[in-house]
Amino acid sequence: MRKLYLRRQAALFGLLLPALLLLLVLFVYPILRLLVTSVYDQGIISLEHYRRIVEVDVYLRVMRTTFTIALQVTAICLVLGYPLAYFLSTLRARTARLLLILVLIPFWTSILVRTYAWMVLLQRQGVVNRWLLELGLIDEPLRMMYNRIGVLVGMVHVLLPFMVLPAFAVMRGIDRDLIRAAQNLGATPLQAFLRIFFPLSLPGVAAGSLLVFILALGFFITPALMGGRTEIMIAQLMEDQIRTQLNFPFAAALGTVLLAVTLVIFVIYNRLLGLDKIFGGDVS
């Protein structure tokens, strides 16, 4: 029996081996190479690049800007995505699927094309400013490009589906009989929503928020095209260090710091909310 068990384990390992090798080549090796590059400078091992990140105010300001924008984008996506996901969850399955296609349509267009489209809409002579002027709502064109407003609009447009889809998936599985039972027992619709539906929908909200926040941290195209000089994010700083300064070790150090901080946030997120409850498995 033991020989049969070992043969089965060997066969299972053989099936998993290609996937494990693929993970090692595509994920583990790049991260290890990133770590080595960040501490290996001119033939010696040094933490000088990490010291620069901590001591130079410019780099600290870029880190703060990156996390602030990521938090703002996550909050806006939550405010816009939760009502949309709730509305979709109340519809019949066929209708909800058709409307979900509209949510997914942005995925069918590249981020670069969508960003240029927003640049056309939000510029001083763009469609939005022209409509506002024609309606008499403003006296002069608003500045919605090359600042925080443009960055937030462009990033929210790209990342909103990542908030809607997890929230909708969880809301769709909530038993509506619980809401009706609460109302039959005297609860108002608002009380039934706040005390029953909303707590049950939190796993979807948590999953969507985590996805949006992590994706927003590494955004490059939208901030580079629609942001100003004061809205530089860490991905832009890394690109500048590689393309113009040819400082690969410092860019690797920036990437390592971003990865480390993201992992810390992920661990805290797990401790506070429990990712096993969100994704249905034990991740601790």
- Mean pLDDT, residues 232-260: 88
- Give the residue carrying structure tokens 């608002």: 190
22: tokens are 């693929």
Q: Indicate the range of 113-127, 222-236, 269-283 predicted with least confidence.
A: 269-283
The pLDDT of residue 221 is 87
Q: What is the mean pLDDT of the chain?
A: 85
Listed in sequence order, the residues at least 6 apart from 220 whose beta carbon sits closer than 8 Å to its beta carbon are: 233, 235, 236, 239
- All domains in the chain, ordered by first residue: 60-230 (1.10.3720.10)
Take residue 223 and report the two structure tokens written for it. 């901030």
Contact yes or no for 209/74 (Cβ under 8 A): yes
Q: State residue 164's pLDDT score.
A: 92
What's the CA angle centered on 157, arms 58 and 168, to 5 degrees?
120
Strand 44-45 and strand 40-41: pairing? antiparallel
Whether 283 shows a pLDDT value over 60: the answer reads no
Q: Report whether 138 contacts 128 (CB < 8 A).
A: no
pLDDT of residue 282: 42
pLDDT-wise least confident of 3-17, 96-110, 113-127: 3-17
Question: Is pLDDT at 284 greater than 50 in this prediction?
Answer: no
DSSP codes, 95-163: HHHHHHHHHHGGGGS-HHHHHHHHHHHHSTTSHHHHHHHHTTS-SS----SSSHHHHHHHHHHHHHHHH
Cα 158 to Cα 212: distance, rounded to the nearest angstrom: 10
Task: Check the CA dihedral 34-35-41-44 and report its sign.
Answer: negative
Q: What is the pTM of this model?
A: 0.84
| Residue 7: predicted pLDDT | 77
Six token digits for residue 75: 């909050």
- Report the pLDDT value the prediction gives residue 107, as an integer from 0 to 100: 79
Q: Which alpha helices (H) appear in 173-282, and where do they start and end?
A: 177-184, 189-192, 198-217, 221-226, 234-243, 248-273, 275-279
Decide if pLDDT at 1 tops 70: no
